[in-house]
Structure formats: structure tokens, C-alpha cells
Amino acid sequence: MEIKNSAVFWIAAVSLLIFQLHGFTTSIHAPAVLLNQDQGTIALVTLNVTSGNGTVTISGPAEVGNSTIQSAETAAAYAARYAGVSEHDYNFNYNIADPSSNVSGPSAGLAFTLLAISNLEHRQLYPNFTVTGTIESNGNVGEIGGVYDKMQAAKEHGMQYALVPYAGADQFENFLYYITQQKFGIPMMEVSNVSEALRFAYAPENISGVKYYLPAVDYHMNNLPQANVTCSECNLSYFYMLVNYTLGYTAGESNAIGATFPGVGSSFLGQIENYSAIEKKGYLYTAADLAFTIYPDAYLLANSDSYTPKAASSLIENISGYCRSLTPPQLTSANYEYVIGGELRQIWGEQQANASIQLVNTSQTSDQVIEGLDSAATSEAWCNAAGEMYSIASSIGGQNIALSPAVKQKAIEEINSAKAYGFNIYEQSAMQAYNSSEYGAALYAAAYANILGNPDVAGNYTPSELVSMIKANAANSTFGVWPSQFANSALFYMYQANSRVNDTGNLTSAYSLSLLARNLSNANKLIASTEINVTNAAPSAIQASSISSLLSNQTQELESISNGISIIYGTIFVILIVMIAILVFIIAIYLKVGKALQVVPKKGRRNG
């Protein structure tokens, strides 16, 4: 045993001496992205470690960025600690055989680290894999960009698998990994730190790749009570139409998912069946909202042939054009919730579409193009909903109304209040609606901004206090279909929280929804109590009619005056005639009497 141990000692000592004198070279394939070209490349990176004083150098490219050099230095320092040696006893010379004129960025950090550890341990890495990710001083692996373009290059260079930074199942980056893996057929393994990466760096064992699935959430349907918040001033049959429309178009995209993503489409359809069961329990908004949340993923997978800037731009322009083409119908006393709800979602859709176009047009990698397409899917879902709400509103009918100045005043008050929580999509949409004179939509959006925009809306309330307030808010949220459905949704998530242990997330969501329901109910009360009835005639017709009526009235007044004048003149004329006749008669009598006095003989007088 002593002889054997002695032999091992001398072999190790000789190996170390050879290493210190001549060094040891290892290599790895590291992907990179040619910015603004949506193109990846694979560079062979080699490392030669020799005895020295801790110098770290990078050769090969004409220019190397500072972030790349710092990444190599961090990698060498961590690798030395991992191997149990001092970095100051060695020099690390990395060589990047990259066709690019310059190299920058820290995404080769994990590759540098694996090279250094394998070199110090005298173990060659597996030749046909690639790795990307930044490195931290504690060995943790950080996120990178351009994964789609990098894996496309890896496919072209015959790589068998890839190591990528851990993203988390609920992150878009994880979804992007899955899309990329399936498109190029390269299994991708997520790693959080160097130790996890080393499990796959020396040999391709247990390479399973990224999984994508929608977890089968247990909504405890058997114990879920029937929704009991009813609404006044509304007809639920119209809201059922909206919910079923949402479930339908989400199912349509799910059915369009191709064989590149096996089993995903059926998984989506299974979820939609769960949402339909929730709808049957009366939680209508909840069912529609859950379907809405999975629509972008279904859309992105169904349009997997459009991950280029040109194709994505074309799709997004079509969505944007559809959003712009929507025209809300006339507000009535019966349909205003659907008109205002549609206006708000149309604003959201247009904003999202514009942001998506901007993201694609300024993209430097395909990752950003895909992200823009995912964002556009949300825009399409919002505008689909807006179009359906307008259609429903048109079929409802009712007395045409206009919103009173009180709604405008309340909207700006609520918008100013929401500014305390910072700028967000709800405040932005509220301001856009207000500036477009859509004061109902501005009031609704401000309600969202004041509740959903507040990061500390739940405060420090205990779970029991939150439950009490949720129930109280729900009971006072019955004026209109939106408030009552938000109230039922709040109760739904409260029941979900009660069915689980320490489920503060669902309880906080429930409380936020209950506050939103209460605020929307108050908004509807204001709209309904101050609405202004308007005629069904067009404004131009109203104006012409008013002018015609005015002229007619004036004509009648003039005729009345003329008739009055005629009567007066006639009366005066008759009086004059009568007076003249009387005068003539008097003159005639006078003349007759005078003549008679002249022809009668004079009597003699007796002188007394």
C-alpha cells in the first residue's frame, strides 16, 4: 500500500512539474452574436495555463472589450479557488479564434471558468457542446442575451447540447429556451452555478433539455362555491358572450401549434377546459382572464415561422392596423360599460402594438424579435376583446347618452392620485383616454392605476383582515357587470388562498381585485347618475332642425305682429269713418236749421 501511494505521489509530482514547465491547453466552443445582424457565431476558445504571477490575457480578436477581460479575470480567480490553488502562481492566456474584428460582453464568463478548472485539473472538456453565461465571483451563473442566434450557430457547427443560465419556469427567458431548443433540436440544460455546469461539461450524461408545460393547477372545483355577487343594471348574457369569445380564440391558437412543439397544444386545450369549468361556476371574468394569460404563448408557438424581423414586423403591423380600425359605438344608458371597457382595451392594445413595433425595429438579436412578437400577441388579445365589446355594445341598444362634466372632473382627480405610484401602463392609458376626451375610459383606467399600480396595496394587513375586507368590498361592488365580475374574481382567489397553506399571493390578488371592483362600481354610479340624454338624430340634423324651427317661429311672430297692426289700422279707419259721418251729419243738421230760420215771417211786436 505504501509503495502504491508513493507511486501515486511521484506521478502527481511529475505531472505538476510538467504542467508548470510546459502548461496544459484546453478548449471549448463559445457562442457569440454578431449584433444588428440577427446572426450567431461559434468561436473556439482555448486556454493555456502556465506558472506565473496571476496575469490574465486574451488574444485573437483585434479588439477585446473591458467587460470580456474582467469576465476572464473573474473566471480565473474562481477556478483557482475551486481547484485549491493560488491564482497568483499561474498565468492564464485565453485565445479566441473569432472571425469578428472585436469581442465584447461578459457572456463567455462561464466558458472561461470551465476552461480554467479543466486546465487546472488536467481534464479535457467534452468536445461537442457549447456554453454561454456570465460568471460571478461566487461561481453563480448570470443571464445572457441572444440565445436564439447562438443556438442557431451551434446547430450549424454540429454541437450536441448547450449549457445556459437558469431562468426559472415562470420567466419568459425559459420559454425562449424551449422555443430555441425545439427549433434547432439542441438540448439546452439550465445551470445556476459552476458546480452544476461541471456535471455536464466533461461528458454528455443526463442531457434531457428544457421542458415546457402548463402545470395542471388544482382549482379545488368540488369545494368552490357558486359565484354569488350579482349585478344591478346589467345583463349577464352579454358577458357570457365575451367570455366564450375569449375562450374560443385562445383555443383556436392552441389548435394551430405545430408538431415542432409536441403535446403543448393539447396541454393548452386542457387548460381551457378547466377555465370553462370555472365559467360554469359563475366566475366569468376569472375564466376569461386565465384564457387571456395563456394566449400570447399559444400565439407565439403557432407563429413559429415568423421569428425574423421582416415576418414579425408584418404580423405586428396587421395587429396594429386592426387595433386602429376599431370604432366604438354610441354610448347608451344600457351599453356604456362595454363601450368604455372596449375603449380602454383598445388603448392598451394600441400602446402594446406600438411598443412591439419599436422593439422589433430596434432589435439587435432574434431574442428581441421574438419578445416583440410575444408582446404583440397581448396587443392582439386586447384588441380582439375590444372589438367583441363594441359588437356587443352595438346590439344592446338603449337611450343615447353623453358623459357629464362630473365624470371628466373625477377622472383627472383619480389620475393625479395615481401619479404617486409611478408611471405605468394604467396611468399612461388613463392620460391618453383623457386627452382624447374618452373620460369614461380615463376614469376606469385611473381606477386600475390606483389599485394595480400600487405596489403596497395590501399593506401590512393580516390574512384574516384581508379576508374581511375582500368580502366587504365584494358586497359593495354590484353596480354594473365589470364590478360584479371583478368582485366574484376576488372571491375566487380568496377561496384558492384558503385552500392552500400560506398562499399570500392569491390573497393579495384577491384584495386588489376587490378594491378595483369597488372603485369601478363607484365609477358606474357616477356615470349613471349624471348621464345626459341626447337625441338620436345626428348633430348636423339637430342643428338644421333648430335653425328651421327658429326661422319658423320668427315668421309666425312676424305674421302675428302684421296681423295685429292690420287690425289696429282697420279699427282706426272705421272709427275715423264713423267720426266723419257723425261730423257730416252734425253739419247737415246745422245747415238745415239755419235755412229754416231764414224763411219764416217775422211777427209784429206789441209795444207795451
Q: What is the mean pLDDT of residues 298-308?
A: 96
Q: What is the mean pLDDT of residues 79-94?
A: 96
pLDDT, tens digit (0-9, with 9 covering 90-100), for 462-480: 999 999 999 999 999 999 9
pLDDT of residue 549: 38
pLDDT of residue 463: 93
Q: Are 127 and 203 in contact (CB under 8 A)?
A: no
pLDDT of residue 218: 86
Q: What is the DSSP string of 157-175?
A: TT--EEEEE---TTSHHHH
- For residue 584, pLDDT over 60 is answered with no
Question: Residue 38 — very low, low, confident or very high, per pLDDT cuts 50/70/90?
Answer: low
pLDDT of residue 112: 97
pLDDT of residue 35: 62
Q: What is the mean pLDDT of residues 471-490?
A: 97
Q: Which option is the CATH number for 24-201: 3.30.70.1450, 3.30.230.10, 3.40.50.280, 3.40.50.300?
A: 3.30.230.10
pLDDT of residue 184: 97
Q: What is the mean pLDDT of residues 299-315?
A: 96
Listed in sequence order, the residues at least 6 apart from 138 whose beta carbon sits closer than 8 Å to its beta carbon are 78
Q: Distance of CA 561 to CAs 102, 355, 549, 571, Å?
A: 97, 68, 18, 15
Q: Is the dihedral of CA 172, 173, 176, 177 positive or negative?
A: negative
pLDDT of residue 215: 73
pLDDT of residue 233: 72
- Check residues 137 and 101 and name the one with the higher pLDDT: 137
Q: What is the mean pLDDT of residues 408-435?
A: 94
pLDDT of residue 491: 98
Listed in sequence order, the residues at least 6 apart from 145 whose beta carbon sits closer than 8 Å to its beta carbon are 33, 107, 365, 367
Q: What is the mean pLDDT of residues 56-81?
A: 94
CA 64, CA 72: separation in Å to the nearest integer? 11
Q: What are phi and psi of 34, to 5 degrees?
A: -85, 105
Q: Which residue from 481, 566, 488 is spatially nearest to 524, judged by alpha carbons? A: 481
- For residue 29, pLDDT over 80 is answered with yes
Q: What is the mean pLDDT of residues 120-148?
A: 95
Q: Which residue from 214, 152, 208 is spatially nearest to 183, judged by alpha carbons? A: 152
Q: What is the mean pLDDT of residues 318-333?
A: 97
pLDDT of residue 422: 85
Q: Which three cell numbers stand for residue 514?
A: 376587490
* Amino acid letter, residue 63: E
Q: Is the dihedral of CA 557, 559, 565, 570 positive or negative?
A: negative
Question: Residue 502 — very low, low, confident or very high, per pLDDT cuts 50/70/90?
Answer: confident
What residue segments make up the domains of the chain, in order of their start? 24-201
CA 427, CA 434: separation in Å to the nearest integer? 10
Among the residue ranges 213-217, 362-366, 379-383, 547-551, the one predicted with the least confidence is: 547-551
Q: What is the mean pLDDT of residues 312-333?
A: 97
Q: Are 447 and 427 in contact (CB under 8 A)?
A: no
- Check residues 579 and 221 and name the one with the higher pLDDT: 221
Q: What is the mean pLDDT of residues 67-71?
A: 95
Q: What is the β-pairing status of strands 161-165 and 102-103?
A: unpaired
pLDDT, tens digit (0-9, with 9 covering 90-100), for 143-175: 999 999 999 999 999 999 999 999 988 889 999
- Tell me which H or E stretch contains 37: none
pLDDT, tens digit (0-9, with 9 covering 90-100), for 535-557: 653 443 333 333 333 334 444 44
